Amino acid sequence: MPHEHPPMDILSQGSIPADILENALLHETCYIAFRHDNIVGAFILAAVQNKTELVSFGIAAEFKLNLAGQALLMHALGKAKSRGADNMQVGISNAHIDLFTFFQKNGFRISGIEKDYYYDATLSRKSKNGITLRDRLILSISLQHF
């Protein structure tokens, strides 16, 4: 089913700053997964040297981060591999425990922390799970076995 507008509510689940999301939508490909004409999830990939960044990744609330999430992630990993990337990385906020757990269960490891990434005049007061959005955790996975 063609979809004229990207699912912003799904793509912004990882607390990606709006300007970065909008820029990614202008310059990168947004992949949208459907099931019976309903959006299941979406992701955006960006090439950065020999790795691919999963700029945004989200699953519709009714599907959560279970098998649908794993299937979508496997598709993203396959796309990154087909682009010639050796690694994939994703950045998530320090407060997104569910995404942190999901990516770790699927083979991602912590490869860096961008301190105060979310800490500015607009985001400094936002929180999730009772935790203030502040740092960006970088998780990476090798694409050697995909």
- Residue 68 vs residues 40, 62, 65, 73: alpha-carbon distances, Å: 7, 10, 7, 9
* Dihedral, 63, 69, 71, 74 alpha carbons, nearest 10: 170
CB pairs under 8 A, 24+ apart, for 101-106?
Answer: 102/65, 102/69, 103/139, 104/139, 106/70, 106/73, 106/141
pTM of the predicted structure, to 2 decimals? 0.85
Instruction: Work out the percent of the chain whose per-residue pLDDT is above 70.
Output: 91
The model's pLDDT over 12-60, given as tens digits with 9 standing for 90+, comes to: 877 788 888 888 988 998 999 998 888 999 999 998 777 899 999 999 9
CA 116 to each of CA 30, 76, 124, 143: distance values in angstroms, whole numbers, following the listed order: 27, 28, 9, 29
**Neighbouring residues of 36: CB distance < 8 A, sequence distance ≥ 6:** none
Strands 87-93 and 51-59: parallel
Task: Determine whether domain 8-142 maps to CATH 3.40.630.30.
Answer: yes
pLDDT reported for residue 3: 47
Is the pLDDT confidence value at 123 over 60? no
- What are the sequence ranges of the domains in the chain? 8-142
